[in-house]
């Protein structure tokens, strides 16, 4: 047994000697010596900008700060705001180096181009400079944490020219902490500079913002991110397809740090010498292939449920989340809608090749109403998927609905088809009362059946007081109260007053028991102000007419009954089970739902099949 460990070196001690002496050198292991491998640094840290020249996508900020250093007009407090990963904390550290750089010869002053080799630059780069302090306000939110900073501002720097205090996520500070900081922030010592960073600028008090020079760091564009990631991939010796870089840039959503983390992951999952493809990146991100998204959208817009379900099956087999696929479809609908609205965007370098070619073709083929309907269905469907127990089933149900709705005709074509099937133009709906009024029936599925409103007809939802001081009826008096913005009086006159007699300048009313006692004098004062004539408001015990609100409800019921009995409406209800009449609008009704006084223009209540909808008629403008 004793010879078993003869050739085995004794184990190295794992602590100091008994009297605190240094550890003895470990015996060298037999064989060639090898240096320990350095710890791996992720790309987001390895390629962190060290100067203003390295910042991408922040030209306005860089230009302003360079000019400030050149003119010696550097502010004492900066507020950097923007989404995560655009360079707020990095910019704060660059400002700290620029303020404290002494140059390679030790004689330099503040500069927009720090040398990176002097003692201050290297210490700040290594996060170990005693005069540059960073505080995370997310975990140090109290007033005591701020008081420590305020106390530290009283002492001059130990090594640097300027003390720099960087407070990240400053919006997380408490109100008392902000208040404690105000006085020092307004009149700081000449050797102190504050740099704040936040992603929630609206949560920072205005009193703090007014004491800082504010810079908004914008999201970095997809084109800039793609080029930047391509350069870094080249430095790392990794081959990444341009389409894969574009996918990473799009998933980064303007954040350089997020994109570098994704690029790091993409490089790590591929073998050496292998070109990383867009499909591999899409699989890594849990995204559907962009080509598959286009195929899916074209199948939905073409009304092909079989092809659509085959595409979802293949996507599910590849591990794609169908809920995320709906998000991809939403993004595609938005892109196609922009191309439809502004065709010149097809030449934009920010758009990938697929969007410029297939997206432009879809924009030329689909109308804006169809795209808007697809957007609404997908937006609602995305919420349904998040709440459903089976995400795949919910997503497929949304896509099937989209597939069947995409080829539905517009409401005007639907009415024309149903009218043609009936063999004749539908008969008009009888006017409820008081002359012919155009009717607009809104079906439960969103279909609208209407006739264009006649020129000069009263529009629903707007009060129609008589022009000038002439009041032709009690409705004009009630509308006068609305026109004079006496909402309380208008409400009581509409809901709690029965007209007994209207004989200007005498109005006889029967108020409800809950009507205010001063209703009569208030109405008399209003009429005197509006007409210049003294009116007598008499209170009566006779029943009188129903209130305006009751009359409006009765008229609404009559319109609904008349619309429900119309042959065309009955044909639509029969063709679409579950459809219902939700609203019926009379174009000639006033704000109270009653027919306008005076004879109306006779005509069909529903437009003929070849009529032009009111919202599609050209509008003439007078210059």
Q: What's the pLDDT score for residue 36?
A: 64
Please state the pTM of the whole predicted model: 0.56
Q: How many CA atoms lie within 13 A of 73 on its CB side?
A: 8
User: Are 194 and 115 in the same domain?
Assistant: yes
Q: Which of 547, 567, 589 is the last residue of a domain?
A: 547
What is Dmax (Cα atoms) for the chain? 130
Please check whether residues 167 and 62 belong to one and the same domain. Answer: yes
* Whether residues 370 and 394 fall in one domain: yes
SS3 167: strand
CATH of the domain at 266: 1.10.8.60
Asked if residue 21 is part of any domain, the answer here is no
CB 552 within 8 A of CB 520: no
Say what the pLDDT of residue 378 is: 92
Q: Is the peptide bond before 505 cis (omega within 30 degrees of 0)?
A: yes
Whether residue 226 is found in the same domain as residue 356: no
Domain count, the chain: 5
Q: How many CB atoms lie within 10 A of CB 258?
A: 19
Give the CATH number of the domain where residue 536 resides: 3.30.300
Please tell me whether residues 499 and 431 are part of one structural domain: no
3-class DSSP state of 227: helix
Q: Are residues 188 and 85 in the same domain?
A: yes
Is 259 within 8 Å of 266 (Cβ atoms)? no
E strands in 189-234: 192-198, 213-216
Residue 469 half-sphere exposure, CB side, CA atoms within 13 Å? 12
User: Which residue is listed with tokens 């390895």?
Assistant: 46
* 10 in a structural domain: no
95 and 123 co-located in one domain: yes
For Cα atoms 191, 177, 214, give the angle at the middle one, nearest 5 degrees: 55
User: Is 39 inside any structural domain?
Assistant: no
Same domain, 281 and 294: no
Does residue 235 lie in a domain region?
Answer: yes
Nearest to 558 by CA among 405, 402, 430, 451: 430
Residue 423: per-residue pLDDT:
54
Bridge partners for 192 per DSSP: 163
Q: Where are the alpha helices (DSSP H) in 430-504?
A: 474-483, 487-495
**Structural domain includes residue 315:** yes
Decide: 84 and 147 in contact? Cβ < 8 Å: no
Task: Let me know whether 484 and 346 are in one domain.
Answer: no
- Report the alpha-carbon angle 449-450-456, nearest 5: 165
State residue 18's pLDDT score. Answer: 40
- Say whether both 385 and 266 belong to one domain: no
Can you tell me the distance from the alpha carbon of 99 to that of 160, in angstroms, rounded to the nearest whole number?
Answer: 9
pLDDT number for residue 412: 62
Cα 280-281-282 angle, rounded to 5 deg: 90
The last residue of a domain, from among 285, 300, 320 = 285
- For residue 430, give the nearest of 606, 274, 257, 581 by alpha carbon: 606
Question: Domain range for residue 81?
Answer: 44-216
Q: Which of helix, strand or coil describes residue 128?
A: coil
- Any residues with CB less than 8 A from the CB of 190 and at least 6 apart, and which? none
List Cβ neighbours of 52 (8 Å cut-off, separation of 6 or more): 62, 65, 66, 94, 98, 112, 113
Domain at 303, CATH number: 1.20.272.10
Give strand pairing partners of 604: none
Kindly state whether residue 16 falls inside one of the protein's structural domains.
no
CA 580 to chain centre: 33
**Domain CATH for 206:** 3.40.50.300
Q: Which two tokens stand for residue 154?
A: 């009283």
239 and 212 in one domain? Answer: no
Work out the burial of residue 79: count CB atoms within 10 Å of its CB; fewer than 13 is exposed, 13-18 middle, 19 or more buried.
buried
Beta strand segments in 52-114, E: 77-81
Q: For the chain, which ranges sit under pLDDT 70?
A: 1-37, 286-289, 350, 353, 406-469, 596-623
pLDDT at 1: 39
Of 216, 243, 274, which closes a domain? Answer: 216
Question: What was the pLDDT predicted at 80?
Answer: 93
Quick check: is 466 in a domain? no
pLDDT of the residue at 445: 44
Q: Is residue 31 part of a domain?
A: no
Q: Are residues 365 and 296 in the same domain?
A: yes
């Amino acid at each position: 047994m004793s010879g078993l460990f003869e050739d085995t070196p004794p184990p190295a001690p794992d602590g100091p000697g008994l009297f605190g002496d240094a550890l003895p050198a470990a015996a060298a292991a037999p064989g060639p010596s090898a240096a320990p491998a350095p710890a791996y640094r992720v790309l987001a840290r390895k390629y962190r900008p060290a100067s203003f020249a390295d910042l991408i996508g922040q030209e306005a900020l860089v230009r302003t700060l360079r000019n400030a250093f050149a003119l010696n007009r550097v502010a004492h407090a900066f507020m950097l705001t923007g989404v995560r990963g655009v360079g707020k904390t990095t910019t704060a550290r660059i400002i700290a180096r620029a303020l404290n750089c002494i140059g390679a010869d030790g004689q330099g002053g503040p500069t927009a181009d720090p040398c990176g080799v002097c003692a201050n630059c290297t210490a700040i780069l290594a996060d170990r400079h005693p005069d540059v302090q960073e505080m995370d306000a997310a975990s140090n939110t109290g007033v005591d944490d701020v008081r420590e900073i305020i106390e530290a501002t009283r002492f001059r720097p130990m090594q640097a020219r300027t003390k720099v205090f960087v407070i990240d996520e400053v919006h997380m500070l408490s109100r008392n902490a902000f208040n404690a900081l105000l006085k020092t922030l307004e009149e700081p010592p000449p050797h102190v500079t504050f740099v704040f960073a936040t992603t929630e600028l609206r949560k920072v008090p205005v009193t703090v913002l007014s004491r800082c020079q504010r810079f908004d760091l914008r999201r970095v564009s997809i084109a800039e991110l793609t080029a930047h990631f391509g350069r870094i991939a080249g430095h790392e010796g990794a081959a990444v397809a341009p389409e894969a870089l574009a996918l990473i840039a799009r998933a980064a959503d303007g954040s350089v740090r997020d994109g570098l983390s994704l690029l790091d992951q993409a490089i790590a999952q591929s073998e050496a010498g292998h070109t990383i493809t867009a499909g591999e990146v899409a699989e890594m991100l849990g995204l559907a292939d962009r080509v598959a998204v286009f195929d899916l959208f074209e199948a939905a817009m073409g009304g092909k449920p079989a092809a659509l379900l085959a595409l979802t099956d293949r996507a599910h087999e590849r591990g794609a989340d169908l809920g995320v696929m709906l998000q991809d479809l939403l993004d595609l609908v938005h892109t196609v809608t922009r191309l439809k609205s502004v065709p010149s965007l097809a030449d934009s370098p920010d758009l990938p090749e697929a969007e410029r070619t297939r997206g432009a073709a879809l924009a030329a083929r689909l109308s804006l109403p169809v795209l808007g309907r697809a957007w609404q269905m997908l937006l609602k469907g995305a919420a349904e998927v998040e709440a459903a127990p089976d995400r795949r089933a919910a997503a497929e149900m949304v896509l099937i609905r989209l597939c069947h709705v995409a080829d539905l005709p517009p409401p005007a074509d639907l009415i024309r088809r149903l009218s043609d099937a009936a063999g004749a133009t539908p008969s008009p709906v009888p006017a409820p009362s008081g002359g012919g009024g155009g009717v607009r029936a809104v079906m439960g599925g969103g279909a609208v059946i209407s006739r264009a409103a006649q020129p000069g007809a009263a529009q629903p939802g707007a009060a129609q007081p008589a022009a000038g001081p002439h009041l032709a009826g009690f409705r004009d008096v009630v509308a006068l109260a609305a026109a004079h913005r006496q909402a309380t009086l208008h409400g009581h006159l509409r809901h709690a007053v029965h007209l007994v007699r209207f004989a200007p300048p005498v109005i006889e009313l029967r108020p409800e028991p809950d009507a205010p006692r001063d209703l009569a004098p208030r109405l008399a004062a209003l009429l005197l102000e509006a007409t210049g004539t003294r009116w007598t408001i008499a209170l009566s015990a006779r029943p009188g007419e129903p209130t305006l609100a009751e009359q409006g409800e009765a008229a609404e019921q009559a319109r609904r009954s008349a619309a429900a009995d119309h042959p065309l409406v009955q044909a639509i209800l029969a063709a679409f089970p579950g459809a219902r009449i939700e609203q019926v609008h009379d174009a000639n009704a006033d704000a109270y739902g009653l027919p306008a006084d005076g004879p109306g223009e006779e005509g069909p209540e529903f437009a003929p099949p070849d009529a032009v909808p009111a919202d599609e008629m050209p509008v003439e403008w007078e210059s």
